[in-house]
Structure 1
C-alpha cells in the first residue's frame, strides 16, 4: 500500500548496530541474534539488506566504536549508507538505494530506539514508505541519568505507539522477529 508508485519490494534496514552504540545496550545479544535471523531470512528470500552506519564526534569514522558489531557481517553486495543525522534518509543516498531496488516497504531494526530508529521510522513514513518495526530487534542505551525513561520503557513505548501509526495510503506496525514476513500482506 505504499504511496511510492511502482515500488512493490521490501528491504530490511539495519540501523547503527555499531560497537560504540551497542556497548552496554540492554538485550544486546538477543537483539543482535534477532537481526542475524532476519538477515539470513532476507538473504534466503532475495530481499535487499540495507546497512546504515552513523558518524559523529563519539563515533569517528574508521574508529573501533564506529565499526559494526562483529556478530553482524555485511555481504559485499549489500549497500552501506553512511549518515550524520538521526534520520537515515537525511542527507544520505538511502532514498536512491531504495528506489533503485524498487523498495516501497521497510522492515526496520537497529539502534538506538529513541534516536536514529525512531527518526528513521518517521522519516520513512512521511516519505511514502510502509514501515514495519521489529519489536525485539532494536535497543537503546540507558539515558535515565538525563531524565529519560529506562531503556525497557523506551523500547516498549516505541513498540506500542508504532503499532498504531497510520498515514494516508501507508501502513506501519510492530511485529516480533518470528512474525516478520517480507511481503506487504503481513503488515499489522
Structure 2
C-alpha cells in the first residue's frame, strides 16, 4: 500500500551487520543467524537484498571492524550502500537503488536497534515506504552506562512501537523471522 508510485516490489534491507557494530551486541549469534536465514529466503524468492554499511570516525572504512560479519556474504550482484549517518537514506544513494528495483516495501533487519535501525525505519516510512521490522533480527549493544535501558528492553520497546506505527497510505509492523512473507504487506504482530 506504499505511497510510492510504480513500486510493487519488496526488498530485504540489511543494516550495519558489521564486525565492530555487532561484536558485543545482545544475542549477536542468534540475530546474525536469523538475518542469514532471511537473506537465504530472499535470494530463493528472487527478492532483492540491499546491504547498508556504516563508516565514521570510530568505524573506519576498510578496517576489520567495518567489514560485514563473516557469516553474511553479500552477493556481488546485490547493492551495497555505504553510509555515514543513522538514517540509511541520508547522504546515500539508497533511494536511487530502491527506485531502480521498483521497491515500495522494505523488510528491515540489522543493527543497532536504537540508532541506525530506528532512524532508517522512520526515514523509510516518512518517504512513503511500507516498512516491516523483523522483530528477532535486529540488535544493539549495552548502553546502560549512558542511561539507556538494557538491550533487551530497547529491542522490546522498538518492536512494540513499530508494531503500532501508522500513517496514511503506508503500512508498518513487525514480524518474526519465521513468519516473514516477502509478498505480503506489513502486519502487526
Range into which the TM-score falls when normalised by the shorter chain: over 0.9
Hey, what does 2:117 align to over in structure 1?
Answer: 117
Count of equivalent residues: 188
Question: Are the counterparts in 2 of residues 111 and 139 from structure 1 also a CA contact under 8 Å?
Answer: yes
Equivalents in 1 of 2:101, 2:174: separation in Å? 23
Structure 2 length-normalised TM = 0.98
Instruction: Tell whether 2:15 aligns with 1:6.
Output: no
RMSD value over aligned CA atoms?
0.7
Equivalent residues of 2:130, 2:186 under 8 A apart: no
Distance 1:34 1:184 in 2: 19
1:36 Cα offset (Å) = 0.5
Quote the offset at 1:184 in angstroms: 3.0
**SS state at 2:171 partner:** strand
CA contact (8 A) 1:10 1:47 kept: yes
Match of 1:89 in 2: 89
* Corresponding residue number in structure 2 for 1:30: 30
Counterpart secondary structure, 1:145: helix
- What are structure 2's unaligned runs of at least 5 residues? none
- TM-score computed with the length of structure 1 as normaliser: 0.99
Which residue does 1:147 correspond to in 2? 147
Q: CA deviation at 1:186?
A: 5.3
For residues 186 and 132 of structure 1, the distance between their equivalents in structure 2, rounded to whole angstroms, comes to: 5
**Following superposition of structure 1 onto structure 2, how do residues 129-148 of structure 1 map, counting pairs within 5 Å?**
129-148=129-148
Per-residue deviation, 1:185: 3.7
